């Protein structure tokens, strides 16, 4: 072979390698060395064999609340030209998820999180479009990560691997990550899953036909089975019993509700319950008290509810009907949450989602004696309050969500 041919082949190879690199996107962290700081407690980072060369294994002990392994690679101008990022993960086979957190623009109130499955024990590629890097808190300025209309990806801080307080899942788990890199383009699900008919007609039809139904109840302490006020009586169980008795349908409740949490935090954790119920018939959404106390007000709540409906529909491939519950009043804040309730009504109408107007139902039930609906803290539901919830949700389902 002539020297000229050798040079031509070498040049062609270099061009090919450049094109492959461009197609894959710039490497954020190759995970070839110990590039993450060890967690101070309850975890460790070690170099292991990877998908390509070496990788990092992140191991967390039981009770790993706020245990983070902190990376070094920060956002750069290249981030703004990318569609998102990707990485390879090999999990431990458990239902526990992994978490990534970013601090935006050095402001610790502008936290953004990503939740990913670690159930697979073989290397799997995870792609994360910028729209799935979600704000954790309702601080003003906590916009979507978007280089054109939101907060610039280039201002994201280094990735932290771990879980902040709101996860409430701190069992021992481990996973390996390799090849964290930018993605120049990503194919997004742009389907419009908005129902053409009544928003809850599908789940109602299954009930009337006596078919099994699965309901996911997203929420805070008003819904969380683990909260002390819900131990003996809770509205999801009352709803299940009432629907089964009337329609002779087997109703399965998947309850991912977490006391003390807010709507945005639970949207981040959708991938966790999706593993258990990938195509539920109905997802209920009940938030507001904690959101308000953190600074969430009507306009931001409306924006978040709109986004939440879209995310639930995308996550379930449009198979789930969605039912929004208006924010429940508390005795000492009887009229405080009116604007949050109105935001839920507006979002339900715009997105053709179902609506259970808990706010109005509790005002009606408590017009003579509101304290009877609550336990002694005057915030969480007593048995009569749970009954109002269950009956209001059932009535919304039976109306088809209209």
CATH number of the domain that residue 99 is part of: 2.60.120.430
> 175 and 212 share a domain?
no
Please indicate, yes or no, whether residues 160 and 282 belong to a single structural domain of this protein: no
pLDDT score, position 16: 40
Q: Which residues pair with 48 in a beta bridge?
A: 55
Whole-angstrom Cα distance, residue 255 to residue 240? 12
Per-residue model confidence as pLDDT tens digits over 126-175: 999 999 999 999 999 999 999 999 999 999 999 999 999 999 999 999 99
> 23-55, pLDDT tens digit by residue?
679 999 999 999 999 999 999 999 999 999 999
Cβ(270)–Cβ(283) below 8 Å: no
Tell me: do 164 and 268 sit in the same domain.
Answer: no
CA triple 48-52-53, angle to 5 deg: 50
Same domain membership, residue 127 and residue 233:
no
Q: Are 367 and 326 in a shared domain?
A: yes
Q: 163 and 230: one domain?
A: no
Mean pLDDT of all residues in 87-110:
97
Rounded distance between C-alpha atoms, residue 383 and residue 370, angstroms: 13
User: Are residues 383 and 235 located together in one domain of the fold?
Assistant: yes
pLDDT band at 22 (very low <50, low <70, confident <90, very high): very low
Give the tens place of pLDDT for each residue, 76-98: 999 999 999 999 999 999 999 99
- 32 and 95 housed in the same domain: yes
Tokens encoding 144:
């979507």
Radius of gyration of the chain (CA): 24
Are 106 and 77 part of one and the same domain?
A: yes
**What was the pLDDT predicted at 24?**
78
Mean pLDDT of 310-325: 98
| Average pLDDT rounded to a whole number, residues 295-308 | 97
Mean pLDDT of all residues in the chain? 94
> What's the confidence (pLDDT) of residue 151?
98
Length of the chain: 402
Whether residue 108 is predicted with pLDDT greater than 60 in this model: the reply is yes
Return the number of other C-beta atoms located less than 10 Å from residue 143's C-beta.
Answer: 14
Q: How far apart are alpha carbons 260 and 192 in whole angstroms? A: 32
Q: Report pLDDT for 247.
A: 98
Q: Is the pLDDT of residue 252 over 60?
A: yes
Q: Is the pLDDT of residue 9 over 60?
A: no
- Residue 8: what pLDDT? 45
Same domain (yes/no): 242, 172: no
**pLDDT value at residue 362:** 98
Judge if 154 and 284 occupy the same domain: no
User: Does residue 378 surpass a pLDDT of 60?
Assistant: yes
**Boundary of a domain, candidates 127, 156, 183:** 183
The closest of 217, 224, 117 to 168, measured between CA atoms, is 224
- In the predicted model, what is the mean pLDDT of residues 317-339? 98
Q: Which residues on adjacent β-strands are paired with residue 103?
A: 111
Per-residue pLDDT reduced to its tens digit, 348-361: 999 999 999 999 99
Q: What is the domain range of residue 138?
A: 25-183
CA dihedral of 385, 282, 93, 95, whole degrees rounded to 10: -10
The reply to whether 348 falls in a domain is: yes
pLDDT for the residue numbered 23: 63
Indicate the number of domains in the chain: 2
Give the pLDDT band (50/70/90) at residue 19: very low
pLDDT of residue 172: 97
Question: Span 324-333, mean pLDDT?
Answer: 98
CA 156, 159, 165: angle at the middle one, nearest 5? 105
Q: Could you give the angle at which helices 383-398 and 358-365 cross, rounded to 10 degrees?
A: 130
* Domain assignment of residue 336, yes or no: yes
- pLDDT over 70, % of the chain: 94
Over residues 14-21, mean pLDDT: 41
Residue 11 banded pLDDT, cuts 50, 70, 90: very low
16 lies in a domain?
Answer: no
On the question of pLDDT at 300 being above 90, the answer is: yes
């Amino acid at each position: 072979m002539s020297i000229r041919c050798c040079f031509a082949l070498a040049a062609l190879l270099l061009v090919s390698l450049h094109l492959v690199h461009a197609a894959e996107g710039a490497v954020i962290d190759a995970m070839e060395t110990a590039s993450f700081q060890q967690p101070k407690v309850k975890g460790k980072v070690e170099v292991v064999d990877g998908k390509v060369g070496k990788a990092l294994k992140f191991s967390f002990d039981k009770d790993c609340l706020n245990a983070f392994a902190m990376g070094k690679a920060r956002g750069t101008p290249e981030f703004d030209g990318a569609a998102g990022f990707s990485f390879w993960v090999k999990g431990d086979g458990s239902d526990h998820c992994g978490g990534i957190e970013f601090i935006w623009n050095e402001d610790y109130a502008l936290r953004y999180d990503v939740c990913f499955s670690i159930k697979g024990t073989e290397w799997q590629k995870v792609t994360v479009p910028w729209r799935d890097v979600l704000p954790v808190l309702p601080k003003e300025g906590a916009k979507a990560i978007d280089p054109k209309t939101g907060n610039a990806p280039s201002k994201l801080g280094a990735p932290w691997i771990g879980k902040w307080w709101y996860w409430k899942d701190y069992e021992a788990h481990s996973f390996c990550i390799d090849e964290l890199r930018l993605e120049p383009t990503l194919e997004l699900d742009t389907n419009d899953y908005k129902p053409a008919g009544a928003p809850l007609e599908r789940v109602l039809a299954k009930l009337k036909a006596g078919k099994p139904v699965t309901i996911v109840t997203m929420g805070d302490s008003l819904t969380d089975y683990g909260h002390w006020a819900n131990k003996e009586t809770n509205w999801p169980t009352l709803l299940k019993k009432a629907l089964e008795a009337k329609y002779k349908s087997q109703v399965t409740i998947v309850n991912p509700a977490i006391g003390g949490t807010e709507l945005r935090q639970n949207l981040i954790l959708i991938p966790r319950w999706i593993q258990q119920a990938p195509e539920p018939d109905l997802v209920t959404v009940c938030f507001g008290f904690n959101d308000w106390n953190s600074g969430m007000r009507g306009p931001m709540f409306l924006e978040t509810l709109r986004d939440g409906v879209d995310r639930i529909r995308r996550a379930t491939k449009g198979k789930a009907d969605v039912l929004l519950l208006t924010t429940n009043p508390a005795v000492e804040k009887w009229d405080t949450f009116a604007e949050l309730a109105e935001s839920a009504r507006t979002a339900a109408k715009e997105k053709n989602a179902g609506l259970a107007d808990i706010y109005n139902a509790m005002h009606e039930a408590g017009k003579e004696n509101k304290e009877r609906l609550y336990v002694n803290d005057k915030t969480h539901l007593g048995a009569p309050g749970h009954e109002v919830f269950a009956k209001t949700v059932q009535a919304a389902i039976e109306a088809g969500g209209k």
